[in-house]
Amino acid sequence: MWRNLVLFLAMALTVVSFAAKIEIFSWWTAGGEAEGLQELFNIFSKSNPGVEIINATVAGGAGAQAKAVLKTRMLGGDPPDTFQVHAGHELIDTWVKTGFMEPITFLYKQEGWDKTMPKGILDIVSYNGELWSVPVNIHRANVLWYNKAIFDKYGLKPPTTFDEFFKVADTLKSYGIIPFALGTKDGWEAAHAFETVLIGKLGAEGYKGLWNGKTKWSDPRVTDALETFAKMLTYVNPDHAARTWDEACALIVEGKAAMNIMGDWAVGYFYAKNFKDFGWTLAPGNAGIFDALSDSFGLPKGAKNRETVIAFLKVLGSKEGQVAFNIKKGSIPARTDVDKSLFPEYQRSAMDDWLKHEIVPSVMHGAAASEGWVTEFKDVISLFVARPDVKVTQKALVNIAIGQGVAQ
């Protein structure tokens, strides 16, 4: 009898060790992004049949909620097998410098990604000469989306400068249409829009300098940006505090609002809603500048299914994976060797721009500054939406930079 029991236990154990699992942690729950993730799972399952995928998603734009869940798990020694993290400071400052990740340079060499991905993106996933995560996409944050039907109806042209923006907005207002859709419920959306205003007023070099001390936050161009943003806020939907970013996009889809400034995950949302009548241009003053962020996945130290994670990362970096994912998500592949013709029109234009525009890192999406700085920046702009006091806000922005150890 005892022998039977031992045998049974041994069998049970082998079954457990064969039933491979992988837990993939992300904040992709809205329309296009969840579909993109599913595409990746499908490809992974084809080459790794029998591996159970645990889709650990936590809702909330820009990872607002997911990041908190992730931090408790990582600090508590229970990392998911792999997790979504913005390439740049969020990856490097939060997870790499602190020793939570395993370098995956070997994977880049083995798969040849160091040749198929551009230097700009390799730089922001590197630290101390090693590579730390696989960028699965490139998003553009500084896009102005508009409802084509509305623009056609009133004979309007999409604005490219701030002056044109205000002119168009006034016209729309006079016809009773909300000129500028905004959702501020999750707290980061206003700061996202303001980021593009900063780029528009300071240019690529000036904007990049804000995060390393080459541009001072007391600069008169920052004052100008704040004043302009305050004026833009007078054209938004009055219920913006009740809406999240996708609920603001819904206003465009429903034809109640004409424009909004959002990253190109909006295009994934439009596809998911089967809305084809959208047009795009760059945020005012952003011509020739690509405000970039990238979602990436790495290999946490102590991942329970290390080999399976590596197999999944290979899918993420593969041509097939990057194409399938990005078509749905609205972003473009980090690899430069994919067939452009597979993509819808918006992504084709973004892929062209990615190669010829000047690239700046997005702050709200973790590429430009540490998470502490991002949180304080977001809070100050959030307050600015209610109390547009330019002087006080600018002083607060200066103080944050000083607190972050950047000379002013």
Partner 1 sequence: MKKDRLISILFILPSIILIAIFVYFFIGWTSWVSLVNWKDIFPDFTFVGLRNYIRLFQNYRFTISLQNTVVFTALFLIASITIGLLLAILLDRKVRFESVFRTIYLFPMAVSFVVTGVVWRWILNPGPGGESVGINLLFEKIGLSFLKSGWYTDPNIGIKAVVIAAVWQMSGYVMAMYLAGIRGIPTELYEAAQLDGANTMQVYRYIVIPLLRPITLGAVIILGHISLKIFDLVFAMTGSGIGFSCDVPALFMYDTTFRGNYFSQGAAVAIMLLLFVAVLIVPYLIHSIRTEVRR
Q: Residues in the site for partner 1, rule: CB under 8 A?
A: 64, 67-68, 71-72, 74-75, 93-95, 98-100, 176-178, 181, 184-187, 237-243, 251, 256-257, 370-372, 374-376, 379, 382-387
Using the minimum distance from each CB to partner 1, give the nearer residue, 119 or 387: 387
Contacts of 282 (CB under 8 A, 6+ apart): 142, 143, 144, 160, 289
Closest to partner 1 by CB, 94 or 142: 94
Query: How near is the Cβ of 190 to partner 1 at its closest, in Å?
Result: 9
Measured from the CB atom, the residue of 147 and 347 that comes closer to partner 1 is 147
Looking at the chain, the number of H-run helices and the number of E-run strands are 18, 15
Residue number with CB closer to partner 1 (70 or 316): 70
Nearer Cβ to partner 1 (51/64) = 64
Beta bridge mates, 127? 130
Q: CB of residue 88 vs partner 1: minimum separation in angstroms?
A: 15
Q: Where are the beta strands (DSSP E) in 121-269?
A: 126-127, 130-131, 133-135, 139-140, 143-147, 178-180, 257-262
CB 294 within 8 A of CB 362: no
Q: Which is nearer to partner 1, 77 or 99 (CB)?
A: 99
Residue 374: CB minimum distance to partner 1, A: 8
Distance CA 319, CA 321 (A): 6
End-to-end CA distance of the chain: 78
Eight-state DSSP code of residue 187: S
Cα–Cα distance measured from residue 5 to residue 345, given in angstroms and rounded to the nearest whole number: 63
Query: CB-based contacts of 307: which residues, under 8 Å, 6+ apart?
Result: none
What CA dihedral angle connects 173, 176, 180 and 181, to 10 degrees? 170
Q: How far is the CB of 342 from partner 1 (least distance, A)?
A: 36
Minimum distance from CB of 74 to partner 1 (Å)? 8
Closest contact distance (angstroms) between CB of 82 and partner 1 is 18
Only one residue has tokens 């696989």, namely 134
Nearer to partner 1, 118 or 372 (CB): 372
What is the DSSP secondary structure assignment for residue 210, as one 8-state letter?
A: H
CB of 165 to partner 1, least distance (A): 19
